[in-house]
Amino acid sequence: MSNRSTEFAGQTMQLHPSGALFWRGTSTLILGDLHLEKASSYHRSGQFLPPYDTAQTLANLAAVCDDLRPDRLILLGDVFHDGNAWARMSSENRDRLIAILDGRDTVWVEGNHDQSFVPPGHTGQLEWADHGIIMRHIMDAAETRPEISAHFHPSATISLRGTRLRRPCFIQTATRLLLPSFGVLTGGLDCRDAALSPLHGRDTQVFMLGEDNVFAPPPGLTSQAVGGLKSGGW
Amino acid sequence: MTRAGMVGVTMRNDGPAYRPHRVDIAIDRVYIEFMVEPLHDDTYRDLSARLQSHPLTGWLQGRGWDWFDHQVRTADSALEGRDTILFAPTGAGKTLAGFLPSFLDLADRGSSGKLHTLYISPLKALAVDVHRNIQTPIEALDLPVRFETRTGDTPASRRQRQKTKPPDFLMTTPESLALLLSYEDAASYFSGLQFVIIDELHAFFDNKRGDLLSLNLARLATLAPQARRIGLSATIDRPQAACDWLCRDGGAIVRVPQATAPEITILQTDKRIPWSGHMARHALDEVYAEIGRAKMSVVFVNTRAQAEFVFQRLWQLNEDNLRIAVHHGSLERELRRKVEAMMAAGGLDCVVATSSLDLGLDWADVDLVIQIGAPKGVSRLLQRVGRANHRLNEPSRAILVPTNRFEYLECVAAQAEIAVNRLDGAAFRRGGFDVLAQHVFGVACSGPFNADDLFAEVTSAAAYADLDRSQFDAIIGFVTNGGYALAAYPQYNRLTTLADGTIALREARMARQYRMNIGTIVESPMLKVKLRNRTLGSVEENFVVNLSPGDTFLFGGQVLTFEGISNAAVMVSKARGGEAQIPSYGGGRLPLSSNLSYAVRSLIGDGESHDDLPGQIRDWLSLHADRSALPDEKTLLVEIFPHRKRYHTVIYTFAGRNANQTLGFLLLRRMKRAGLRPMGFSMTDYALAVWSMAPPADVTALLDPDIMTEEFEEWLQDTPLLKRLFRDAAIISGLVERRHPGQVKTGRQILFSSDLIYDVLRRHEPDHILLQAVRRDAMQGLIDAGRLADTLQELNGHIVCRELDMISPMAVPLIMQISRENTVRSEVGDDLMADMEQEIIRAANVESIH
């Protein structure tokens, strides 16, 4: 597994190819946008997406936890795709989630999709601060403190020798760190999108998720380019 | 048995019924082959009387024309109650032949107030064109026939009227027919139907629109069993297979051989024909000169990128101010219609076109067809050539313009094949499960159905004859609720079983979802190209991603500067001259037909025939023979040579690009396993090049046909090609909703991607019917497994391997070609990103980046 790390707000953060962030100093795993029961939420509208996303996302999460053994989870919102997701989940999947949470401190930051739902016995937070780092679901453009957020499902595209690859990515600036989505059925927003303009700058670093590694194109991100080079220029 | 006097047409019955090659046929001497028993004289006499008394006969005669015998034959057969196909070249009056039974029948019975004749065309534009054509006699004679056109463009008010007060004749497309069949009153709407005319029938055999049509026809056979089918087709090599596809028992075939062989020449040039490339830059001066000599010409190209390039170059050469236009599928519909109208009115000297003009619009005044690039297939070339001159007894004139030396050989081979009238094997596909799912949903929209009856109906369609009941049931399960092994939420089911055992839509309002999704054509995401407020057309999203502001590209014959993206549109300005980056439109590439590839191999292998080739082609072949060896139809040439620190293994399969691509993927696996560190591959129709860090030691083992079992099964499990097919299947089958053109994404991010759905499904339910659907599709087209297996089997034991010091002449196009298909995203994905980092590290001269 990748040992790609980055320094953020004076802390060493390990970037995991699953899209989770591991803060080894505090044994904390930070991740967001699991969107559990996303597929089944579409069944109502007659789009019968395969109902296996929840089991798969949870299996991925269990694997990361087995790998990194965090003492604490910080869930950065949209763990559930909607407010009824928990009710739709199969008992097996609920048990899977409960088993993952078992024995770990869990911080639930509320998202926009989950409609403030947290499983019984847990409480949600609007935001969470730790070691001077503020964590919330959607970044606040006015924020000046170091901030870790999720919500946008960022992805980046590179081209090299005629092949284009689009992958989920972390985006880091001096004061912000944006996480990719952790769910298996979540689409991506191009990192150059105007919605992410607070993250566009000369020193912006994108970290793209590979199968077993995390990759870093050269720094620099504007609305037209990844990593200082226009995509396609490779 | 003389039928003279009938309409002044004589029928020759004493000679051979049909001579296949180069028969000279005068207008009144048409040879016809009947696959069924001969006609009864009485019937024919009866028809003769009916024809004579019909005003159309007088109208024709008044113009100095008369009925062709094949028109009468077709009408007679259909009026006798047979499903009938007329195979005839362009200009043989096929459309009128198709409508003749309807005119006669309607004259006898009078209008019933119900739909009498359905005319189905693969192109909206053709439906409109035919509407115009039959309008002429109907209006001239003031016949009491009501005829209308219905396509996706028809305004809602007229559609409503067509529903409540059906015309006698309705011109439509398979999609609009599917829509009509999905209404609850479909049975009554079609109850008076007498004839179904399918124009350009040959265009339906090998694609999903054909699947849709065959299912619609099966439905019509249930609702209106009396309605006879009349297929109008270009000449193909397997008429009986076409008959099996279209006709029910007792179907008949009427054939009109090519009246005169077309005059096909290959452009001769003093310039150097390149070894590789596809733009015909070297030949465009001469092409321009030919255009100037012709009255009106069509320049056919194979890709939209070629269309753009050729059109722009011709404009630069256009000192005589010829009226030249361009026509391809990415251009705004209005622009295309304008070009078509100008052609029809004789307002143009030349049109540069892609396959968007392949099908039979009636441009009577085209006297020259120029084909730029290799024809890829004999039948397709003949159809394109047939655009020139629509008169049956005059030869069509065409000039082939090879863009590189390999293509020169292909043109020579095609010319020879046409001379002996050997057509490509028409491909008939097995129907897609995704299309069937769409159809089953549509049937449910029209009312409750019995599963046994529907199964019988569906399997009566030739494309679905091989469907087994378990697959059919899986498709019903899919339409009901996705058909997953995991229990779903029954309250959301689309279909429900009623007390009497029939299956029905759970709620009538669900029909809306079906009606928004009819059709089998899935466009890759397109963005509109806008010059200020004017929309010029659209380009693929993937192309735009590679642009930066200031980049220039050719579009609609203009050089445009990319300014940026605004409101989901590509904003451009006019660039001032200069070279432009050319749009790399996807698709549009057909693999070389097996027939033609065999002919090319034979030509290369037949040294004597080389004497007839131009000097530079001959030199190229002999240079290749000196450096390596010439591939031929009996051997499989393999070359291994070092080039840029890699070993290149070039395999001359001549199996077409799809089969070569598959072989490339399989070899990557096999070579990886052998420790050769393969890095990638590129392919053309003729050959495949794989590059690796180490050279293969045993080529025979490498190409052993067992690669089609071991590596193939593994590869099929996770090939990204299936993912690409799944994107279409997910939409066609109704798994996900279709995004309509111009519909702006509402969310901040894409809601979900079909790639992710594919991954989840493959992992958790690998035998799901929709995954079966894409495998079934892939095997016959994109993967071309059958053709690859045949090639490897046939050439097994006949491998000629040459180890060279350097690249060989014939390998140049492969090495030059850096195309998007030559790499393997999922398989080299991480390697690619690692490579990218390494390249940056080298460029930046830094040790590492963390």
One domain for residues B234 and B289? no
Residue B276 lies inside a defined structural domain of this protein: yes
| pLDDT tops 70 at residue A99 | yes
Nearest CB to B749; choose among A188, A213, A225: A188
Name the residue type at position B123. Answer: L
When comparing pLDDT for B347 and B828, which is higher?
Answer: B347
| pLDDT tops 90 at residue B223 | yes
Closest A-chain CA to B834: A215
What mean pLDDT comes out for the span A195-210?
90
Residue B691 lies inside a defined structural domain of this protein: yes
pLDDT of amino acid B504: 96
pLDDT of amino acid B363: 55
What mean pLDDT comes out for the span A130-156?
95
Residue B472 lies inside a defined structural domain of this protein: no
| pLDDT tops 60 at residue B267 | yes
| pLDDT tops 90 at residue B412 | yes
One domain for residues B74 and B97? yes
pLDDT of amino acid B360: 52
| pLDDT tops 70 at residue B326 | yes
User: Which chain A residues are closer than 8 Å to B488 by Cβ?
Assistant: 40, 43, 48, 51
| pLDDT tops 60 at residue A226 | no
Of B216, B233, B255, the residue that ends a domain is B255
One domain for residues B117 and B216? yes
One domain for residues B782 and B817? yes
Q: Is A160 on the interface with B (CB under 8 A)?
A: yes
Contacts of B626 (CB under 8 A, 6+ apart): none
Confidence of residue B514 (pLDDT cuts 50, 70, 90): very high
Confidence of residue B19 (pLDDT cuts 50, 70, 90): very low
Kindly report the pTM of this predicted structure.
Answer: 0.81
CA dist., res. B449 & res. B444, Å (int): 7
Nearest CB to B749; choose among A39, A189, A224: A189
Which stretch, B424-428, B519-523, B559-563, B799-803, has highest mean pLDDT? B799-803
Question: Topology of A5-230 in CATH?
Answer: Purple Acid Phosphatase; chain A, domain 2 (3.60.21)
Check A50 against B764: CB less than 8 A apart. yes
pLDDT of amino acid B543: 67
Separation in Å, CA of A234 to nearest CA in chain B: 8
Query: Cα angle at B790 between B787 and B793, to 5 degrees?
Result: 150
| pLDDT tops 70 at residue B187 | yes
CB contact at 8 A, A173 and A204 = yes
What mean pLDDT comes out for the span B117-134?
85
β-pair partners for A134: A129, A147
pLDDT of amino acid B8: 24
Residue B586 lies inside a defined structural domain of this protein: no
What mean pLDDT comes out for the span B782-810?
89
Residue B107 lies inside a defined structural domain of this protein: yes
Check A188 against B825: CB less than 8 A apart. no
The number of distinct structural domains making up chain B is 4
CA dist., res. B722 & res. A205, Å (int): 33
pLDDT of amino acid B88: 86
Of B255, B289, B309, the residue that ends a domain is B255
Q: Give the torsion sign (CA, B345, B348, B350, B356).
A: negative
**Residue indicated by tokens 């037209």:** A224
Q: Please count the residue pairs, one from chain A and one from chain B, whose beta carbons lie less than 8 angstroms apart.
A: 159
CATH number of the domain encompassing residue B275? 3.40.50.300
Of B390, B419, B448, the residue that ends a domain is B419
One domain for residues B226 and B269? no
Q: Which domain holds residue B786?
A: 615-834
When comparing pLDDT for A94 and B486, which is higher?
Answer: A94
User: Which chain A residues are closer than 8 Å to B849 by Cβ?
Assistant: 216, 218
| pLDDT tops 90 at residue B753 | no
Residue B446 lies inside a defined structural domain of this protein: no
- Where helices occur in B353-404 by DSSP H, the ranges are 378-385
| pLDDT tops 50 at residue B237 | yes
What mean pLDDT comes out for the span B4-20?
28
Separation in Å, CA of A105 to nearest CA in chain B: 30
Alpha-carbon torsion, ordered B333, B338, B344, B346, to 10 deg: -150
One domain for residues B694 and B806? yes
Residue B587 lies inside a defined structural domain of this protein: no
Confidence of residue A36 (pLDDT cuts 50, 70, 90): very high
Average pLDDT, chain B: 82
pLDDT of amino acid B459: 97
CB contact at 8 A, B189 and B179 = no
When comparing pLDDT for A86 and B646, which is higher?
Answer: A86
CA dist., res. B233 & res. B83, Å (int): 14
Check A208 against B748: CB less than 8 A apart. no
When comparing pLDDT for B841 and B729, which is higher?
Answer: B729
| pLDDT tops 90 at residue B164 | no
Confidence of residue B536 (pLDDT cuts 50, 70, 90): confident
Interface of B with A in 489-518 (CB under 8 A): 489, 492, 494, 510, 513
Q: Is A234 on the interface with B (CB under 8 A)?
A: yes
CA dist., res. A85 & res. A114, Å (int): 8
Confidence of residue A80 (pLDDT cuts 50, 70, 90): very high
Closest A-chain CA to B506: A46
Name which of A211-225, B339-353, B716-730, B813-827 the model is least confident about: B813-827
If you write DSSP's letter for every residue of B326-348 in order, what string do you get? EE-TTB-HHHHHHHHHHHHTT--
What mean pLDDT comes out for the span B321-331?
87
CB contact at 8 A, B777 and B432 = yes
Nearest CB to A56; choose among B482, B736, B763: B763
When comparing pLDDT for B124 and A97, which is higher?
Answer: A97
pLDDT of amino acid B91: 67
What mean pLDDT comes out for the span B573-579?
72
What mean pLDDT comes out for the span B269-296?
89
pLDDT of amino acid B94: 86
Check B484 against A55: CB less than 8 A apart. no
| pLDDT tops 70 at residue A225 | no
What mean pLDDT comes out for the span B721-750?
70
When comparing pLDDT for B203 and A233, which is higher?
Answer: B203
One domain for residues B295 and B327? yes
Residues of B759-796 as b/e, b for ≥16 C-beta within 10 angstroms?
A: bbbbebbeebbbbebbbbbbebebbbbebbbbbbeebe
| pLDDT tops 80 at residue A82 | yes
Closest B-chain CA to A234: B836
One domain for residues B203 and B269? no
pLDDT of amino acid B832: 57
pLDDT of amino acid B292: 94
Q: Is B542 on the interface with A (CB under 8 A)?
A: yes
pLDDT of amino acid B389: 67
If you write DSSP's letter for every residue of B776-842 in order, what string do you get? HHHHHTTS-HHHHHHHHHHHTT-EEEEE-SS--GGGHHHHH---GGGS-HHHHHHHHHHHHHHHHHH
- Calculate the alpha carbon distances from B50 to B10, B46, B56, B86, B425 in Å: 18, 6, 11, 21, 39
Residue B514 lies inside a defined structural domain of this protein: no
Q: What percentage of chain A reaches a pLDDT higher than 70?
A: 91
Q: Is B485 on the interface with A (CB under 8 A)?
A: no
Interface of A with B in 105-144 (CB under 8 A): none
β-pair partners for B497: B503
Name the residue type at position B154. Answer: T
User: Which chain B residues are closer than 8 Å to A38 by Cβ?
Assistant: 752
CA dist., res. B366 & res. B368, Å (int): 6
Choose the mutation target among A2, A49, A84, A182 for the interface with B, i.e. most B CBs under 10 Å. A49
What mean pLDDT comes out for the span A71-90?
95
| pLDDT tops 70 at residue B829 | no
Q: Is B486 on the interface with A (CB under 8 A)?
A: yes
CA dist., res. B723 & res. B358, Å (int): 29
How do the domains of chain A map onto residue ranges? 5-230
One domain for residues B237 and B106? yes
Q: Is B466 on the interface with A (CB under 8 A)?
A: no
One domain for residues B283 and B246? no
What mean pLDDT comes out for the span B732-749?
63
Check B832 against A160: CB less than 8 A apart. yes
Q: Return the structure tokens found at A84.
A: 């009824």
One domain for residues B199 and B278? no
Closest A-chain CA to B838: A217
One domain for residues B765 and B797? yes
Name which of A62-66, B69-73, B641-645 the model is least confident about: B641-645
What mean pLDDT comes out for the span B113-129?
87
